[in-house]
Every structure is written in structure tokens, then in C-alpha cells.
Structure 1
Amino acid sequence: MIADSELILNADGSIYHLNLLPEDLASTIIFVGDPDRVGEVSCYFDRIDVKKGKREFITHTGVLRNKRISVISTGIGTDNIDIVFNEIDALVNIDFATRTLKEQLTSLDIIRIGTSGSIQGNIRMGTILASEYAIGFDALMQYYVKNYSEEEKDIQFTVINHFGTLGFTPYIGSASKRLLDQIAGELPKGITMTAPGFYGPQGRSMRTRNVYPDLIQKANAFQQQGRSITNLEMETAGIYALANMFGHHALSINAILASRLHDAFADNPKEIIDRAIRFVLERI
């Protein structure tokens, strides 16, 4: 039996942060960072049946072409991904009445639609890119036991050697091969680098001095069996690693709004994000 302090429920029986009941959640879920972007996705649904929210976690569940879909805003960063992932897994795999694991576990499909900056010169702003793997430069997976595939171990080994004296151990997560084939077949693919912040952790400096001042240049030069680090953002590695750990399927679709090599930002970000949303919804 799972203790009250581990599985925290609200007075109405909903999960603590997401404020959702098990019946509120679909088995296909779209993650977005920005709470305002939830409506930008759900406006394409044929109907919306559930609208709930608490703090930065907004959920709309509805139907598109007879398929039930939930859209959840996670907020920024893998610390929030930790909350959202544990709670959606609890919603489908724990019996709230008995506080025990269900005998038959459910595997969810989770697609992140997020914004990102490219760190390769051949990836233009406006590109829609799929993350085949993700490297976590944050601390989330220092707290979990995850089984790594041989490919993930090889990438991790190469990352550690390439970046040199890091004060932490990067972790690796993989996209669902099924979702890659289903949704991202024709998209450019790469390795995504996930940072725990927007400024120093992504090599930005306005009035600060960074411990890793050449982070972008190092990432740009990374190669592993023909793969390169293509883009930089703040959630994908946490999503992939937790999905791999829990047995869910996850895919991150990145709308490239910035070029870190060319110090440029797109002048039409809303249009690029909407194109990524429509691309995913057409294939989901």
C-alpha cells in the first residue's frame, strides 16, 4: 500500500499537482511548456470534455477524429517534468481507492511539442526537428535507477569524454521508436541537449561569468557514430529518461526558434509553433 505522503490526493480525490482524476486523462498526451499553449493545441480538437488546472499545470482533454487526447502544460524544466510524469503514471497505474499498483499496467503515448534553439549551422530557424536521443545536463536522473541500453551507454561515454571536466554526470534518454516512425518519419532527427536553466546552463552570459564558457562550441563539435547534438532546450531528456524507466512511449518535437551559432531569433515564433502543433495533430 502506498503511503499518504507518497501518493498525495486532493479532497476531491484528484492527484495533488495536476488536479486530475483518473478518468480525466487520455492515453495519448501532448506536453507543452507554456500554459497558454494548451489552448493553442486544443482549439483544433473536435470537442473538449475536460478543462482543469492548478498552478502552471493546465489540462484539456478532448477528442480529435474519434481519438481521445490530453494536452498538459508542464511549465519549464525537468523539475516540473518529474512532477507531471510521476502523477500521470499514478493516474493510470495506481488504484487510488486501495493505494496499490494495478495488476495490468498502462503504457502512455507522450508527445512533447516544444521550442528549442539549434546549435548546428545547417539547422535553420523554422525547422521542425525530432529528438532521437536526449542528453540530460541536469540532475534529475541522479535520483532514479534507470536501465540504459547499449546505445545510450555509448552516447553517455562519448559525451563524458567529449565535454571533459564536468561537475556532474550527464544521463541519456531515447525516443520511442514506434512514435518516431508514426509521427517523425520525414523530419530531421538528432540528439537534443537538455539544460537545467535558460541562461548560464545554456551558455548565455549578460552580466555573469560561466563555468563552461565554450558550452555551445563544444556541443556543436560533438560527434558519435554520425550523430551530432542538434539543439538545446530544457525538458526532453527528463521526459525520455522517465518514459524509458516507467515503460511509456515518448517523442519530443522541437520547433526551432533560435540559432545559437548565428545569435539569431525567429521573427515569426507563433507561426512556427502552430506549424509544429498541426504537424503532430495530423499524425497522432
Structure 2
Amino acid sequence: MQLSPSELILNADGSIYHLNLLPTDIAHIIITVGDPDRVLEVSKHFDSVEIRKGKREFLTHTGRLNGKRLSVISTGIGTDNIDIVLNELDALVNIDFKTRTINQNRIRLQIVRVGTSGAIQKDIPVDSFLMSQYSIGFDGLLHFYKNENNLHSQMEDAFMEQTDWSPSKARPYITEFSKNLGSHFIDNHIRLGFTATSTGFYGPQGRRLRLASSDGEFIQKIGRFSYENRQITNLEMETSGIYALSKLLGHEAVSLNCILANRATGEFSKNPPKSVSDLIQFTLERITKHT
């Protein structure tokens, strides 16, 4: 089947619409970061950089480190942006732009998110690192795609029951990391976590400035949730989308989180740039050594 111009949208130079990239511009190992400024914080460690391209909030650097070709791309904030980034990255490696047809031989990307997050359990220290073994998404993104392999419906039901989840909100969905890719990042410094992905930073995460949250006990409720000895550990805004679309598209993904805040204790990191830099260096060391 040939994809129409309104489905596969290309720029005048043949690059994919939002990311502004050609198929040869990306490596098969991709680090995603939210902040475009963080792309340089990653690529400055590369031995060489061959590609520097950007459009809107999507900035990409591709280069080599210790002989391995890597790409780092900024996604911006939120699963709406993740929907764009994951679909367009997949198109770059699995669709022939000239014929507008899907390739028979599929390429599997390895996607590593390096991001920041806030803990909701008191025992998780600020400035620590966490890898999301599970993610629960409050964004509803997965429900817009055909998905017949939901393995965690009972845990989702338990979450909605325990938290008195409003029927006016999207049904939460639970996904997992790639065990194969995740095994390369197992370390004494890395906690395995259960990450909640919110649709926003303020009300959707139970914060209150001038507007009151619809659920004043949101953080406490999700913090008390328990299912087969699993508890939600932290909040952020991208992981569920990355995990859900990666699984549907056949890619491997892990999300590494630098804990900058603890919502249960009210603490915030005193030196966020150093903590994020340490996580970047750890990630690059593991990628070049094991993937």
C-alpha cells in the first residue's frame, strides 16, 4: 500500500515533516531528551558530530563515540510530542520515502530516554537515578492506536479502583521497558521504578498555583497505590508514550530518570545540572560498552 502525501508528510528536500531528518541522518541507537539545550550536553561527549539539524523543538545531533554511531534528539515536553517523534523515527528506518511503501525488512531502534522526574515516595533520594521498569500513562495516547495485547488490564483496574479514578479522564494504561535493553543499565546506582506519566505539569500532577486541582489528594492517592508489591515511584511526562509506541512499532526502549524533586518530602535538587550531567555520562558509558 502506498502512503498518501497527507499521511506521510515530507519536506521539499525529502526529509520527514517535523523532525526535518533524512533516513541517513539517524543512528539506530537514539537518546531522547526533553530539552533542546540538553542535546548539546549529550553530544559534547561524542568523538565527532556529523549531523546537526533542527526544527521547532526537535533538535538532532548524530555522531560517534568510541566507534559507535549515536543520535540524540530533543522531544520537547509531553506525550503529544512523543507521538510525533516515535512515529517519525520509525518512518525514517522502516518506510521507503521514494515509493511511500513500508519496508519488508524492519529495523529495530534502541531508544534511551534521559530525563528528569519527581519522586512521590519518601525513600527515593533527590539526585538519585531511576529506570522505569513499568509506566502508567494518564495521557490516553495508546487508546488512539489498535492494541490487542494489553497484558496489564487487571493492574489498571486495581489502580482505578484504589485511586477512585474519575470516569471523565482517560483510562490509564500500563506498559513495560525492554528487558533486553534495560539489562545494560542495571547498576547499584539505578533504582527500578514504576513511573507515572502525566498530561501536564501543574494540575495533572496535583500542583496548585492559582487553579485548584480537580483532586486535591492526587499525589497521596497514587502514592498509596499497591499491586503485587508494586508502587508508583515517580512522575514525569513522556515515558508511557515512549514505551507504548515502541512496543507497538517493534522497537526497544528504556527511560532513565534523574530525580530532581521529591513531592512527598518537598525537597528539590540543589544542583540539577550536575545530577543530569552525571546521568548523561552514565548513560553514554553503558551504551558504548554494552549495546
TMscore range, shorter length:
over 0.9
How far the C-alpha of 1:149 sits from its partner, in A, is 4.7
1:173–1:238 Cα contact (<8 Å) kept: no
Q: Can you give the 5+ residue segments of structure 1 that lack an aligned partner in the other structure?
A: none
Q: Indicate the residue corresponding to 2:137 in structure 1.
A: 136
Matched to 1:127, the amino acid is S
Q: Indicate the residue corresponding to 2:157 in structure 1.
A: 157
How far the C-alpha of 1:223 sits from its partner, in A, is 1.0
1:107-134 per-residue CA deviation (whole Å, 9 max, x = no partner) reads: 1000000000000000010110000010
Matched to 1:171, the amino acid is Y
- The answer to whether residue 266 in structure 2 is matched with residue 250 in structure 1 is no
Distance 1:178 1:185 in 2: 14
How far the C-alpha of 1:212 sits from its partner, in A, is 1.5
TM-score w.r.t. the length of structure 2 is 0.95
TM-score w.r.t. the length of structure 1 is 0.97
Q: How many residues align?
A: 283
Q: Can you give the 5+ residue segments of structure 2 that lack an aligned partner in the other structure?
A: none
Q: Indicate the residue corresponding to 1:264 in structure 2.
A: 267
1:10-41 per-residue CA deviation (whole Å, 9 max, x = no partner) reads: 00000000000000010000000000000000
Q: Indicate the residue corresponding to 1:213 in structure 2.
A: 216
Q: Indicate the residue corresponding to 1:179 in structure 2.
A: 181
Matched to 1:181, the amino acid is S
With 92-101 and 167-176 compared, the bigger mean Cα shift is at 167-176
Distance 2:30 2:54 in 1: 15
How far the C-alpha of 1:154 sits from its partner, in A, is 3.1
1:134-170 per-residue CA deviation (whole Å, 9 max, x = no partner) reads: 00011212211224353x2232222122221322200
1:147–1:245 Cα contact (<8 Å) kept: no
How far the C-alpha of 1:180 sits from its partner, in A, is 1.4
Matched to 1:179, the amino acid is L
Distance 2:186 2:145 in 1: 29
Q: Indicate the residue corresponding to 1:92 in structure 2.
A: 93
Distance 1:243 1:159 in 2: 23
CA spacing shift, 1:237–1:61, aligned 2, 3 Å: same
How far the C-alpha of 1:245 sits from its partner, in A, is 0.7
Q: Indicate the residue corresponding to 2:107 in structure 1.
A: 106
Distance 2:278 2:286 in 1: 13
Q: Indicate the residue corresponding to 2:191 in structure 1.
A: 188
Identical amino acids, percent of aligned pairs: 52
Superposed counterparts of 1:16-31, under 5 Å: 16-31=17-32
Moved >4 Å (runs of 4+): none
Matched to 2:156, the amino acid is Q
* Secondary structure of residue in 2 paired with 1:142: helix
How far the C-alpha of 1:209 sits from its partner, in A, is 1.5
1:81–1:235 Cα contact (<8 Å) kept: yes
Distance 1:89 1:102 in 2: 11
How far the C-alpha of 1:99 sits from its partner, in A, is 0.2
Distance 1:16 1:24 in 2: 14
With 191-200 and 262-271 compared, the bigger mean Cα shift is at 262-271
With 205-214 and 51-60 compared, the bigger mean Cα shift is at 205-214
RMSD (Å), alpha carbons? 1.0
Distance 2:271 2:141 in 1: 33
- The answer to whether residue 201 in structure 2 is matched with residue 198 in structure 1 is yes
Matched to 1:108, the amino acid is L
How far the C-alpha of 1:264 sits from its partner, in A, is 2.0
With 35-44 and 223-232 compared, the bigger mean Cα shift is at 223-232
Q: Indicate the residue corresponding to 2:234 in structure 1.
A: 231
With 204-213 and 180-189 compared, the bigger mean Cα shift is at 180-189
* Secondary structure of residue in 1 paired with 2:233: strand
Superposed counterparts of 1:14-53, under 5 Å: 14-53=15-54
Distance 2:162 2:250 in 1: 30
